[in-house]
Amino acid sequence: MLELIQDDGGVTVSSEQLARRGHTTAAQVRKDLSHFGSFGKRGLGYSVDELRDRLRIILGLDRVWRVILVGAGRIGSALFEYPDFKKRGYDCVAVVDSDPAKIGEKWGERVIRPAEELESLIKELHAALVILAVPASAAQLVAERSVNAGVRGILNFAPVQIQVPEDIPVENVNLVMELEALSFQITRALTP
């Protein structure tokens, strides 16, 4: 949001304006930000540039994160080509798949590597994150292997809840569950 405001030439922004854009309240914006420090000027609001930079540091976006993509199927391919990816500081340093037919295939500058090399690739390329774009049945094993090889966080697209040590953050994206959340809300509105 701050970058969009920058593009529009905005120099300062109030909690009220941020709240409207982000579908929340001004008090919420201020409380949340105050958690990390005091970034605004009374009477003026927040400097867009400064707030953006401070948030980038808080979110750990002031460095490049090396990512390994596991699974070169449809979802993997969509992610790999996603343009905002590299722009945002996420560098996909390797793509891995277990299908012999896919190994060796070229995706841009990367060649698809066999799944057995997962651990060595994580170590050699110093990957901090893995993206799991594999079937549900393979997700738990790949997650364990990744954690053992030193990965620090996991983005999981498989529709299962994977179990990892609690100091390893996991974010889940479950497309069917998102649709089900919509179905529920629509249904509930009809039958109160």
Binding interface with DNA (CB under 7 A)? 14-16, 24-28, 30-31, 33-34, 38-46
The residue among 125 and 173 lying less far from a copy of itself, judged by its C-beta, is: 173
Using CA atoms, how far apart are residues 115 and 70, in angstroms rounded to an integer? 8
Nearer to a copy of itself, 115 or 155 (CB): 155
Q: What is the dihedral of CA 108, 112, 118, 121, to 10 degrees?
A: -50
x-or-dash pattern for a copy of itself, window 95-134, by CB under 8 A? ---------------------------------xx-----
Q: Which residues contact 153 (CB under 8 A, 6 or more apart)?
A: 128, 129, 168, 169, 170, 171
Q: Does 154 bind a copy of itself (CB under 8 A)?
A: yes
* Least Cβ distance, residue 43 to DNA (angstroms): 3
- Residue 6's H or E segment, with its range, is helix 2-7
Rounded to the nearest 5°, which phi and psi values hold at 174?
A: -125, 105
Cβ closest to a copy of itself, residue 21 vs residue 41: 21
